[in-house]
Amino acid sequence: MPRAAAVQMSSGSDKRANLDRAESLVRVAAERGAGLVVLPEVFDWRGARGAEGAVAESIPGPTSERLGALARELAIHLQAGSVTERIDGDRRCFNTALLFAPSGEIVARYRKIHLFDVEIPGQVSTRESETRRPGGDLVVARTALGAIGLSVCYDLRFPELYRRLVKAGAEILCIPSAFTFPTGAAHWEPLIRARAIENQCYVVAPDQYGHSPSGHRDYGGSMIVDPWGAVVARASEGEAVIVAEIDLEYLRRVRQELPCLTHARLATSIDS
């Protein structure tokens, strides 16, 4: 039975060090039998606001080539969290999730749709839209492990996105994140479990933890949740690799015995 891994990191502003550490943790996940390994959002670089342009890369580029070579060497599907993708002629960048096949090829690219513009007095102040440009395309990749739907962090709060992904065939939802501590402590687990339950999917949700260079404290608590909403793997504090089985027969049984996906009567806001 295939296994998936979520990698919890505390990435900083040293891009090479982040990539080295991510590679080491991906190798640990592969050694534990994971055929799908998911890294957190912005795993390769987190630095000062406004510095994204200096570290952003085109895709393909050096970072994607290194990740593709790693996926090929380990013969795994690697969902490389998200990276900062350069856009020619635009000062802003895309926050881009990549999925690599065991061949090393990029088989899916998703650009984060919902940008985190939030002001919680005394706790969180951020405007992702100042340095990032939103994507607009839904992405589902069909693989030997199952159909994988891609999303990133703040997308988690928009259930219509995930229903659209499921309508497109998704069975595994990847939600690489850098969830801040105040919102994470209140909402991280309920939202992840809700997305798994209402869409009857596996959810693989790796998160950043600790203090980011921008001053935010990230929540951690990376999880893998099954289609019934059970948390089948959970990270504790600090750097971690968690692994769980992906049982698509179980997923199909859940969908057959409680066929709520076929009972929907109202269009989502993104449909209307």
Catalytic residues: 41, 112, 153
Compute the distance between CA of residue 3 and CA of residue 148 in angstroms, rounded to an integer.
Answer: 13
Question: Bridge partners of 83?
Answer: 96
Nearest one of 54, 46, 51 to 10, comparing CA atoms: 46
Nearest one of 154, 208, 152, 151 to 181, comparing CA atoms: 208
**CA distances (Å), origin 245, targets 25, 35, 52:** 18, 10, 36
Compute the distance between CA of residue 218 and CA of residue 229 in angstroms, rounded to an integer.
Answer: 23
Compute the distance between CA of residue 39 and CA of residue 179 in angstroms, rounded to an integer.
Answer: 14
Compute the distance between CA of residue 180 and CA of residue 171 in angstroms, rounded to an integer.
Answer: 27
Task: Tokens for 113, please give them.
Answer: 């749709």
| Half-sphere CA count of 18, side-chain side, radius 13 A | 26
Nearest one of 36, 44, 129, 127 to 91, comparing CA atoms: 129
> φ, ψ for residue 164 (rounded to 5)?
-65, -40
Please say whether the beta carbons of 241 and 7 come within 8 A.
yes
